Amino acid sequence: MNLDRTYKSLMVLALIIAALILTKDIILPMAFAALFSVVLLPLEKKFERKMGRVFSITMVLLIAFGAMTLVSWFVVAQLSSLAESLPDLESKYMALLNSVSGQVNQLLRIDTYEQTQLLKDGLKNMSSYFGTLLLSTSYFAYFFIQVPIYIFLFLLYRERFKDFLLAIWPDSELKWKDEIQGVVRSYISGLTIVTVIAGILNSIGLLLLGIEHAIFFGFLSGLLTMIPYVGIAIGATLPAMLALVTKDSAWYAVGVVAVHAFVQFLEGNLITPKITGSKISVNALAAIVALLVGGKIWGIAGMILAVPAVGILKILLSYSPSLKPFVILLEDKHNEERPVEIE
């Protein structure tokens, strides 16, 4: 009987994963819209007390759009500054490349032609990878049109979702619903604050080192902290490469890595625990597995959604007597507020 139940569970899991992959373009905007709807719901309720629901939802969406516009203006301004310096950076990069090529020729006895071919092959593979990555995220216009529409509809028909769940579980009080909403709000708001703080700290460190475009790379690294473990590595690599090109000593690149490592230490051990608390805390193994699975299914967006998805899954499992032991595999014992009681 247990084997039969396990087999059926695995089959259902496989079907769910296949459905998520095949319907990625449809599910992704809905998933992000659901998260943002939960975050915007308290503000929408405040407006709704003074005006109708449709007008209150519209007002909340306009405020969110205004905030996104300010962020977009900052990004465009920083990218424009970076684009102006690209010709100078290109010449410095070629000089560094020629210097490295000569050293490789002396040490490894690989002539310039072979190095060029290896570099071309590497760039070809990299361009293929980034082409696939851009293809998977090239529907940004479609995405940013769909998400506000879904947010509007989710907020407008929110009682129907509650009635639907009560119709499925008539005897349930849906206690997990409120807990999930609290976790999502804590995660999104906390992540925003952590991203800003990490961006400021990274920018200060890069400015002290004299790295060009320090503010852009600092906040880019802060933004990449949304992808645990992987984002910080990418965020440190880009300014480190810039330091190698623009500075006369490799120690500047080492300093860039040290700044990011220090900020990552503060973020993981002080900033995030103080701001987001332990509501969504999962252990490193669960987070890494979730990142790999999320990335495999939905790419970069899946990696961003992986951690809150595991946090929500942890809550749902804790309300199931038969599945509650799996919470032990996901929780971070050091940060949990209450132990998991297995009935």
pLDDT tens-digit series, residues 260-311: 889 888 877 777 666 655 556 677 788 778 888 888 888 777 877 888 888 8
Confidence of residue 247 (pLDDT cuts 50, 70, 90): confident
Distance, in Å, from the CA atom of 144 to the CA atom of 36, rounded to the nearest integer, reads: 13
* pLDDT above 90 (res 150): yes
Strand partners, 282: 331
User: What rounded mean pLDDT belongs to the chain?
Assistant: 76
Burial class (CB in 10 A: 0-12, 13-18, 19+), 86: exposed
* pLDDT above 70 (res 61): yes
Cα torsion angle, 280, 285, 291, 296, sign: negative
pTM of full prediction above 0.95: no
Distance, in Å, from the CA atom of 130 to the CA atom of 271, rounded to the nearest integer, reads: 32
pLDDT at 306: 83
pLDDT at 321: 76
Confidence of residue 342 (pLDDT cuts 50, 70, 90): very low
The average pLDDT across 122-148 equals: 58
- C-alpha radius of gyration, the chain, whole number: 24
Burial class (CB in 10 A: 0-12, 13-18, 19+), 179: middle
Confidence of residue 204 (pLDDT cuts 50, 70, 90): very high
Phi-psi region of 212 (alpha: psi -120 to 50; beta: other; left: phi over 0): beta
- How far from chain centre, in Å, is Cα 143? 16
**Which tokens sit at 59?**
């007002």
Among 279, 21, 24, which residue's Cα sits nearest to residue 142?
Answer: 24
CB of 298 within 8 A of CB of 305?
yes
**Which tokens sit at 135?**
């293809």
